[in-house]
Amino acid sequence: MRIHTEQKPFCCDLCGKRFRRKSYVKTHMRIHTGEKPFCCDLCGKSFRQTSTLKTHMGFHTGQNPVCCNICGQSFSQKSNLNTHLRIHTGQKPFCCDLCGQSFSQKSYLNTHMGIHTGQKPFCCDLCGQSFSQKAYLKKHMISHTRHKPFCCDICGKSFSRKYDVRKHIRIHAEQKPFCCDLCGKGFSQNAHLNMHKRIHTGEKPFCCDLCGIRFIQKSSLNRHIRIHTGQKPFRCDLCGQS
């Protein structure tokens, strides 16, 4: 009945968050204490909840019983599949109150908010570069190690993440599961589709702080910035002209 009444009588003493059940408070407290009592027997990684451990075990066993009927990608949980399906449907239920941009996942919205707040709490110990999300820092750290253990069986190109290999394979297979609703053009990656849609909408989210010109892609903005800085990173080995 508390689901219908939205009654949440149990409160966390540390942050004030409220819950319907006392057991939820107990699980929540592990965020503050750092307690992770549920441990994986195979790799030793520990978790706050048994459900998270169960999901994690799917990575070791390869058990992904829930499958997307559009692109064939499989998942260990139905909730993950439902989130994934928004890529195909274009559904973006999470909206930024400041600029109106919408996202398919709440985590993407939280990351986006860092653009407005400028908050980048995750810092690289090697070069000092900071990031708004821990995942971005982890990806950045690979640039220092240059470790690329995952290899394409077709062309031999290597990647730092297994996920990147899966995306790359679509180039060889000519698989383009992400399709534009307006013109029908297909893409191998959802990021490329989102970038393409800006052609139709006229959206240019990347703005030059110096002159105000806007761009569809961040890479285009980075190239433009060189006009102001005078940076010429591409040098001829024969005559030295850059």
The pLDDT, as a whole number, for residue 63 is 66
Which pLDDT value is given to residue 146?
67
Provide the token pair at 78: 């139905």
CB 101 within 8 Å of CB 94: no
Q: Which amino acid is at 20?
A: R
Q: What is the Cα–Cα distance from 147 to 144, expressed in whole angstroms?
A: 8
pLDDT recorded at residue 64? 65
pLDDT of residue 104: 83
> Can you list the residues of the chain whose pLDDT is less than 50?
none
Kindly report the pTM of this predicted structure: 0.35
Using CA atoms, how far residue 241 sits from 123, 230, 238, in Å, is 36, 14, 8
What is the pLDDT, as a whole number, of residue 127?
76
Q: Tokens representing 21?
A: 């059940």
- Distance CA(160)–CA(155), nearest Å, equals 16
